[in-house]
Structure 1
Amino acid sequence: MKKKTSLSFQLVFTMLILVIGVVGIFWIMNNTLLEKYYVYSKEKEMLSVYDMVNRAAVDDDLSDSQFNLSLKKKCARGNIDVVVFNKYGKVVIEGPADSQEIMGLLFEAGLYKYSAEYNSKKIIRQRDSNLGTDYIIINTLLADGNYIYMKTPIESIRESVNVSNQFFLIGGFVAVIIGVIVIVFLARNLSRPIRSLSNLSMRMAALDFEAEYIHTKHGAREIDELGEHMNELSGALEHTISELKIANNELKRDIKKKEEIDEMRKEFLSNVSHELKTPLALISGYAEGLKDAVNDDEESRNFYCEVIMDETDKMNRMVMKLLSLNKLEFGKDTVEIERFDITEVIAGVINSSSLMAAQNDINILFDDSRHEYVWGDVFKIEEVLTNYISNAINHCEGRKEIVVSYKKVDNKLRVSVFNTGKQIPEDSIDKVWIKFYKVDKARTREYGGSGIGLSIVKAIMELHDQKCGVINREDGVEFWFELELCIVNS
């Protein structure tokens, strides 16, 4: 792409050509027409002198001293030699010439006789071959019968024209220099705000809306108005793009949420299918066994029935947990925040879990001598504690001990459930909250776990806008959650 010149250069170049062109045209006119105009003006002046003398002749004022003085002044200013004489050659009046010059004029007047028939303006041109000089001459008759002879050299006119042309050339050169300086100054003043507008548009194109047009001191009103409109456009574009970005972010979130829901649905179907496959196969197998009477004894039939009932109960509990988790995740369940004693809730859950703990020879430790009040949904927090303690019972090993405790962390109360046993692998510690995720699938199947309990805990705590987590300890695992403390004034 051809590189374009700047506005300043174009203005300076255009105005410079214009100034030089104007000066050049006038110089050419001076050289070709000024001499002709000077000659024309000199002829008019000589005719004016002739008319002046002729009127004086009619009025018989040729001998008037005042008239003679006026005539000499006018002839001196116009560099005109004049003599008036009668038919006998006697001088009546003369211009500013001395006596010798007057004699010469009389001699010339004798040579150039009356010539009105030759030139209606009474003007003739004559060249002095000796001196190489041209003259304008009037040699004619006055109204009173006297003669007048006038002449002026054309050479002085030419000399004046040459001096005028030289002076005009010098003046034109100076005018061009001054014009260039003025044009450069004006072009810079004019182009500066335009460059500012250009930079503003470039920054706007790069979505930089901090740019702003600043009014110049000597800027044109139209440019300042354009700059003001550019500022308004910048603000409108910034607002519009901001709205578009917000809408775009919302759209991205909606698309991401839809993708997550689709992925969740696929994962849910896959996991549910996998979880239901084993119990359904067991139920189907033992039901067929009962139908075919594989073992006719009552003990075997009771065993088959217990297996079917146990698997059915597991599926029922899993479905109920899935429904509960679905309500929590999709906001169909609400929390009723109230003030309650967390110690009483923990003690109640431990009491309901004591039978299962005793069957597994597990000792649950909890200091119920303290009482702390918190804010939360008491029934959902009870479900969180139930999931934590049942999960601890199912994974408790070693000295088989579970410790439930709480402590203050800032303005929160952190409730912890610790069980002795194996630690959770580091690559799985952040995945235990995912639905159907099982660290030890064989062990989970053994106690009938579905991998949903901790997902329900996570969803409940998110509804409370509180945190929960898991920490590997030296001899076991600690699960915790936080609730807002209720300050009771004593």
Structure 2
Amino acid sequence: MKHTIGYKMTVIIVAIMGLSLIAASIFSSFFLSKYYKKTKQDSIKKVYNELIKITQDDSDIENSDDVSILNNICEKAGATMIVVDSAGESIYDYGAGKMLADRWKDMIFGSNTKQKEEPKIIEKNDKYTIQSTVDRFSANQYYELSGGVSSGNYVVIRMSVESFRESIAIANKFYLGVGISLILVTTIIIIGITRKYTQPLLQLADISKRMSELDFNVKYADERDDEIGVLGESMNEMSDKLETAISELKSANLQLHKDIAKKEEVDEMRKEFISNVSHELKTPIALIQGYAEGLQESISDNPEDMDYYCDVIIDEAGKMNKMVKNLLTLNQLEFGNGSVNMERFDITSVIAGVIHSMQIKANEKQVNIEFNQMEPIYVWADEFQIEEVITNYLSNALNHVDEKRIIQVKIQEKNGIVRVSVFNTGKNIPENELENIWIKFYKVDKARTRAYGGNGIGLSIVKAIMDRHEKKCGAINRPDGVEFWFELDCNSLEKGTE
């Protein structure tokens, strides 16, 4: 409270008013008396000058038509006056005539028996003398002016100056009371006025504090035409601009983090890719080199051994060729090369075609591929890429089928979504590795994978194709095997003829 602007303004203004009141009282005590006396002296001289002016026009002042004017002047000035002729007879008096007549006699004979102290001359010239005297009986102070007028007449004008002290005391008490009351009233008014201005300032201070905490929802709502209103509008405008700027900075920062993360991911993928490719190529290259050197050095002259060496070289070269092709395909899919050619086609016929192309390999392993769907089911996708998915699923199933030798391919349609699943009997995939099988070069059983020439890229190609189609794929452990699936859009289930 003591640190608020309203409190400080109130204290300052009240202090200024209080000091002004004290200064006025001091000034009144020291200077008002002198001013009052000077005013009285001017007043008594003014009465004398008016008397001179009247007697110049008409020396018979007692019977003059201007006597009423002179009476009014004496009344306003609070003066008493007597005019005597050369014989000492009063020809005009106003106020205490008898007392002034006696006082005139004292002046003539130089007697001050009725005065408390010797009169003090204030001003004296060839026309009049002004002196200060104190009455013995009343103890009142008076200014007396004595001097000559026209036709040899003599004037005495007397004016009381004693009452000014009481008047000053009364005035000081009055102004003190008025001043204190005025200070109290003014303080209340100032508090009200300052609140009118400090409340908006406090509101603006709170807004600025919340802005510093990045809260830009609060706005200055008062509609004012003064400087505070302009400040409020400026803060609202600044708040909007800061919010926009910070939002843009956050977006840029988020994008930067994404770019950095992407770069780190790409770098990591590159390192992992080089490491995996090196690992995958190391074994076939070593085998090819070893058997080729054996052929070169004629280790065996037996034709069967030489044929075996050649078969190994051809088989390993084929695996390398397959891996390179898969890597190129995966690279195109992961980095967005090429486009998805969306078309409507019969998924049933595509599956049947893939099964037919792999029937020789299935017969070699004595595997029965079950596919009972006969009616066409039309889907929207890239037919070539979906054929690649089905081929990889069936190849994976043939490579991992157990002694039961059962592979089942099914199609299910529900709510416009077609799910194609490929099941093979065999060993389940550990649950904690189900999410990892889609990572390139990842192998659950490395020894078995090597036996059939797998390199852990096929399922990565499946995942990349389905991601480009923005569709789901996955793997589920069944009690007696593993099921792989993927989904596609289907507008309708139609029966058609070729």
**1:228 is the counterpart of 2:233:** yes
Q: Report deviation, 1:211.
A: 2.0
Change (3 A) 1:421 1:118: closer
Q: 2:73 maps to what in 1?
A: 74
The question of whether the paired residues in 2 share the 8 Å contact of 1:127 and 1:133 is answered with yes
Q: How do 1:73-112 residues align onto structure 2 when only pairs under 5 Å count?
A: 73-97=72-96, 102-112=97-107
Q: What is the TM-score normalised by the length of structure 1?
A: 0.93
- Give the secondary structure class of the aligned counterpart of 2:162: helix
Q: 1:158 maps to what in 2?
A: 165
**1:485 is the counterpart of 2:484:** no
Structure 2 residue runs of 5 or longer lacking an equivalent are 111-119
Q: How do 1:294-373 residues align onto structure 2 when only pairs under 5 Å count?
A: 294-373=299-378
| Cα distance between partner residues in 2 of 1:440 and 1:71 | 139
Q: Report deviation, 1:409.
A: 3.8
- Give the secondary structure class of the aligned counterpart of 2:470: coil
| Cα distance between partner residues in 1 of 2:378 and 2:340 | 17
For residues 93-122 of structure 1, what are the alpha-carbon distances to aligned partners after superposition, in whole Å with 9 as ceiling and x for unaligned?
Answer: 22133xxxx222111112224999961363
Structure 1 residue runs of 5 or longer lacking an equivalent are none
Question: Which one of the candidate residues 384, 391, 413 is aligned to 1:408?
Answer: 413
For residues 413-438 of structure 1, what are the alpha-carbon distances to aligned partners after superposition, in whole Å with 9 as ceiling and x for unaligned?
Answer: 11111112111101100000000000
Q: What is the TM-score normalised by the length of structure 2?
A: 0.92
Q: 2:451 maps to what in 1?
A: 446
Q: How do 1:165-204 residues align onto structure 2 when only pairs under 5 Å count?
A: 165-204=172-211
Q: 2:26 maps to what in 1?
A: 28
The question of whether the paired residues in 1 share the 8 Å contact of 2:10 and 2:187 is answered with yes
For residues 252-287 of structure 1, what are the alpha-carbon distances to aligned partners after superposition, in whole Å with 9 as ceiling and x for unaligned?
Answer: 111111101100010011111111111111112211
- Give the secondary structure class of the aligned counterpart of 2:410: strand
Deviates more, 1:414-423 or 1:69-78: 69-78
Q: 1:11 maps to what in 2?
A: 9
| Cα distance between partner residues in 1 of 2:123 and 2:298 | 163
Change (3 A) 1:64 1:211: farther
Question: Which one of the candidate residues 270, 286, 289 is aligned to 1:281?
Answer: 286
Q: 2:144 maps to what in 1?
A: 137
Q: 1:429 maps to what in 2?
A: 434
Q: Report deviation, 1:451.
A: 0.3
Change (3 A) 1:116 1:238: closer
Q: Report deviation, 1:489.
A: 8.2
Q: Report deviation, 1:129.
A: 4.3
Q: Report deviation, 1:249.
A: 1.4
Deviates more, 1:464-473 or 1:448-457: 464-473
The question of whether the paired residues in 2 share the 8 Å contact of 1:340 and 1:375 is answered with yes
Deviates more, 1:332-341 or 1:452-461: 332-341
- Give the secondary structure class of the aligned counterpart of 2:92: strand
The question of whether the paired residues in 2 share the 8 Å contact of 1:397 and 1:420 is answered with yes
- Give the secondary structure class of the aligned counterpart of 2:451: helix
Q: How do 1:448-467 residues align onto structure 2 when only pairs under 5 Å count?
A: 448-467=453-472
| Cα distance between partner residues in 1 of 2:122 and 2:451 | 150
Q: Report deviation, 1:181.
A: 1.4
| Cα distance between partner residues in 1 of 2:411 and 2:162 | 125
| Cα distance between partner residues in 1 of 2:238 and 2:313 | 74
Q: Percent identity?
A: 44
For 2:203, give the aligned amino acid: S
| Cα distance between partner residues in 2 of 1:258 and 1:307 | 40
For 1:237, give the aligned amino acid: L
Deviates more, 1:320-329 or 1:29-38: 29-38
The question of whether the paired residues in 2 share the 8 Å contact of 1:71 and 1:95 is answered with no
| Cα distance between partner residues in 2 of 1:220 and 1:42 | 54
The question of whether the paired residues in 2 share the 8 Å contact of 1:58 and 1:144 is answered with no
| Cα distance between partner residues in 2 of 1:261 and 1:413 | 34
The question of whether the paired residues in 2 share the 8 Å contact of 1:116 and 1:140 is answered with no
